[in-house]
Structure 1
Amino acid sequence: MAVFWKAVAGGLLLTVSLLGGPAEGQGNERGKKQVSGNSVLFLSQVRDLWRPLVHTAVNLSEINSIKSSFQFRTYDPEGLIFYGDTKNGEDWFVLSLMNGIPLMQISKEGMLVSVEGGMKLNDGKWHTLEVSNQEKFVILEVDGSTGLKVGMQSQQTEEVMSGGLRLALGGILIEKEKMIVQFKPQMDACVRHGNWLNISVPWEAEVEELWPCYENIRPGSYFPGTGFAVFNTSVFQTDEDGELRVELWADFRQMNGTILSIKPSQKELEFKVEANKNTEEVTVSFREQKVILKSTFKKLLIMFARAELRVVQDGDESQSTALSVDPVLTTWRDGLLGIGGLLGEAEDGSHFLTGCLEKIQVQDRDLDLDLAVKHTSISSHSCPA
């Protein structure tokens, strides 16, 4: 297929809050909130994509350790974790995940190095990461074992290190084009128990309030009832039979609100899937027709064909219902797909979804909400357990 996922241009003008209280901190003379380097930090908090969540600076003469360690937890396969630089960004280091695997990118004395490897870290468990510089090597240890080891040696005379060093979490302080490997920076992840070069200077936050992390998580996308995510339907390609498949995995009895909605361009809302926790029912509506299901199933498959819409529960064709509507697929050609809310209606938020979608697939491919225009309270890859 050609380009499969594409975010919708524009944004959702909605207010934002995440469950729980803000992390502790205090202001400084520049009005920036200051936090301890060992704070619990939710890296996916909304801000400009490449902008750090928190950052700090220290004089190299004050550093007596060349080692940083922290604990890290995520189900997200891709995103930016940790950045450091010297010489005001001439030499730099970036640690991220790509397909769940650690990726280190380093610039030093004009050399650019990129290396990835080790175990996948997006298993939802807390992992202890340690980054150190040992002579000509940069080493990443994961849970006490060496994950990556990068050697760098320049023909130039090595300079005596002096000046300042900058550190950042969740963002970088250089242009993203300088990196060898490009990736999506936003990451649904948490960092805690940081010990950064054994320094105790406070970090500055680039947001007014720092959001907390859930104590326990499980895989999925969590909607707290405050907003929804939007995709452009025109990028979802039909298969060879002219069909389009949408599959949802969830405990539908625990969900309440609009799960999916589709609004063709310049037309009224045509399709929606709604859950009612009180009645334990899921209603699938297409134009004037609707199907009401008892929400005892764990997987819901919706197939859009040329002249039919079919709804299948738990992969059991004997538990399927068809709506004969012609044409169905035109709904997808130019419009918007809403996940967790009702497009074009109910701006009071009464239809926003509350609950965890364990998995969302379109054409048998996982739908990554990080590629949507989404409300900032939605956790793309984790739900509270």
Structure 2
Amino acid sequence: MAVFWKKMAGGVLLTLSLALLGWGAEGQGNRRGKKEVLGSSMVYLGQDRDTWRPLIHITVNLSDISSIKSSFQFRTFDPEGAIFYGDTKNGEDWFVLSLKDGVPMMQISKEDMIVSVTGGPKINDGRWHTLAVSNHGKFVILEVDGSDGLVVGMQSKQKEEVASGGLRLALGGILINKEHMIVQFEPQMDGCVREGNWLNLSNPWEVEADELWPCYHNIQPGSYFPGTGLALFNTSVFPFEEDNELKIELWGDFTQMNGPILSIGAPGQEPLFTLVANNNTHEVTLTFGEEKISVKNTFRRLLMTFMKDLVKVFQDEDQSKNTTISPVSHPEYLTTWRNGHLAVGGLLGEGEDTVDSQFLAGCLENIQIQGRYLDLDLAIKHPSISSHSCPA
């Protein structure tokens, strides 16, 4: 992914209201007031929290461990993110399992060595996969669906110490400084873990949230907006010159969408462009400057090409459904694209620190700008939005 795509969330002044959803999972409390769940529970890893902070974690004595293997089922469409972490010696020796480009990646620190290895099958296909991590002396083995996915061998010249003390395990984050890892990655993972068997331990795990959000029974690729918030980007990160075109392409079942899909505007100004779905009238309305046009919502692909004085709109592949909007000359056009905001799933407000109260309900199966996939993990977004999966 290009560098400018990594910078989308930087420097945005808009403040979003991040009210958590009322979803929950059964859990017990402990003496520190933390909720607890069994390690076999189904856990949605994409729940909002501090970026690298684990969602659930556990600390046990190494003397209580009778197994060398941890296994669990895992499902995602997300190509990148943190899954499973473990350490001893208060983080001196550690292990991180993540995804990078949909492929498993293990990073291990032990004594005077740090190694990173990536390989095995792509597993971000939305299916449940059984993963198992085990330690066999000098080797750490990752199995994927019963077959060896990764085997890492490590041998130090130092005399190996007898393991003692505590062991920490965590899901959805890490407990060390991210700078210690060889390979950096985006930690947020829109995925689910279930049926975990962690070293045969029966101890409950501590939950770093008021409630655990559920996983959808069936999922499909896309970004899901439940009608409670939006995702925000700076337009300055998109490649655009005054004499060039800028293309935004959206895929999805527009008959199942309701509310604002897209809005673009300069700070302190009314939105220059809006795209709104109305399930009552079965229409999608595009507004650019002072021009407005409504089309039936029976399409699955919408391509919008922005130029200095007009917007071309293409529905599906049918050339007969092409529409051109030629607005009155808009003095804020170039300013908007250079220093404005793009909101997906909501309407930008009149000021930098306000947003409209209406939000999109529906699934955008794919969002592309200038032919590049738009990753909502890089946006400032409401925690209820799922970046890579929608309920099917």
For normalisation by structure 2, the TM-score amounts to: 0.94
Matched, 1:362 2:365: no
Q: Which deviates further from its counterpart, 370-379 or 5-14?
A: 5-14
Match in the other structure for 1:13: 16
Residue in 2 that maps onto 1:3 = 4
Hey, what's the Cα distance between the residues in 2 that align with 1:76 and 1:300? 23
C-alpha distance after superposition, 1:303-359 (max 9, x if no partner): 111221111111333311112233555431111100000111697865210000000
1:62-141 aligned within 5 A = 62-141=64-143
Residue pairs, 1:254-269, within 5 angstroms:
254-269=256-271
| Distance 1:198-1:239 versus aligned 2 partners, 3 A rule | farther
Q: Contact 2:349–2:356 (CA<8 Å) still a contact in 1?
A: no
Alpha-carbon contact 1:140-1:149 (below 8 Å) kept: yes
Of 205-214 and 76-85, deviating more is 205-214
Matched residue type, 1:127: H
- In 1, Cα distance between equivalents of 2:138 and 2:277: 58
Residue 240 (structure 1) shift: 10
Q: Which amino acid aligns with 1:370?
A: D
Q: In the alignment, what sits opposite 1:332? A: 337
Code of the aligned partner of 2:381: K
Q: What SS does the corresponding residue of 2:319 show, helix, strand or coil? A: strand
Q: C-alpha deviations, 1:54-101, integer Å up to 9, x for none?
A: 000111111010100000000000000000000000000000000000
Secondary structure at 1:4's aligned position in 2? helix
Return 184-193 or 5-14, whichever deviates more. 5-14
Q: Check the 8 A contact 1:69/1:129 in 2, yes or no.
A: yes
Distance in 2 of aligned mates of 1:42 and 1:333:
37
Measured in 1, the distance between the counterparts of 2:59 and 2:3 equals 44
C-alpha spacing 1:25/1:349, structure 2 compared with 1 (3 Å): farther
The count of residues paired between Structure 1 and Structure 2 equals 384
Question: In structure 1, what is the equivalent of residue 146 of structure 2?
Answer: 144
Q: Contact (CA 8 Å) 1:12, 1:375: kept in 2 or not?
A: no
Letter in 1 for 2:349: G
Indicate if the aligned counterparts of 1:42 and 1:213 stay in contact, CA closer than 8 A. Answer: yes
TM-score (norm 1): 0.96
Q: CA deviation at 1:13?
A: 3.4
Q: Distance in 2 between matches of 1:345 and 1:267?
A: 5
Q: C-alpha distance in 1, partners of 2:102/2:371? A: 20
CA distance in 1, matches of 2:146, 2:19: 38
- Identify the residue that residue 42 of structure 2 maps to in structure 1: 40
Counterpart of 2:391 in structure 1 is 384
Name the counterpart of 1:250.
Answer: 252
* Alignment check: 8 A CA contact 2:270 2:350 kept: no
- Is the 2:78–2:189 Cα contact (8 Å) retained in structure 1? yes
Summarize deviations over 1:161-183 as a string: whole Å, max 9, x none. 11110000011111000000000
5+ unaligned residues in a row in structure 2: which ranges? Answer: none
Deviates more, 1:69-78 or 1:313-322: 313-322
**Residue 60 (structure 1) aligns with:** 62
Amino acid at match of 1:13: L
Partner of residue 287, structure 2: 285
Aligned residue type for 1:384: P
Name which of structure 1's ranges 58-67 and 326-335 shifts more when overlaid on structure 2. Answer: 326-335
For 1:27, the equivalent position in structure 2 comes to 29
Residue aligning to 2:188 = 186
- Worse-superposed segment, 283-292 or 68-77: 283-292
Per-residue CA deviations over 1:142-162 (Å, capped at 9, x if unaligned) read 000000000000111111111
1:89-140 deviations in Å (ceiling 9; x for gaps): 0000000000000000000012000000111110000000000001210000
Give 3-state SS (helix, strand or coil) of 1:218's partner: strand
Q: Within 2, Cα distance between the matches of 1:10 and 1:264? A: 12
Aligned counterpart, 1:175: 177
User: What amino acid is aligned across from residue 341 of structure 1 in structure 2?
Assistant: G
Deviation at 1:287, TM superposition (A): 1.6
Which residue identity does 1:125 align to in structure 2?
R
More deviation, 280-289/323-332: 323-332
- Within 5 Å, which residues of 2 pair with 1:298-377? 298-325=300-327, 326=329, 328-344=333-349, 350-377=357-384
- CA drift at 1:14: 1.6
- CA contact under 8 A between 2:242 and 2:308: conserved in structure 1? no
Structure 2 CA distance for aligned equivalents of residues 210 and 101 of structure 1 = 26
Contact 1:227 1:349 in 2 (8 A): no
Q: Does the 8 A contact of 2:252 with 2:300 survive in 1? A: yes
Identity in percent: 65
CA apart distance, 1:15:
4.0
* Residue type at the aligned position of 2:371: D
**Partner SS for 1:318:** helix
1:226 to 225, 228, 231: 228
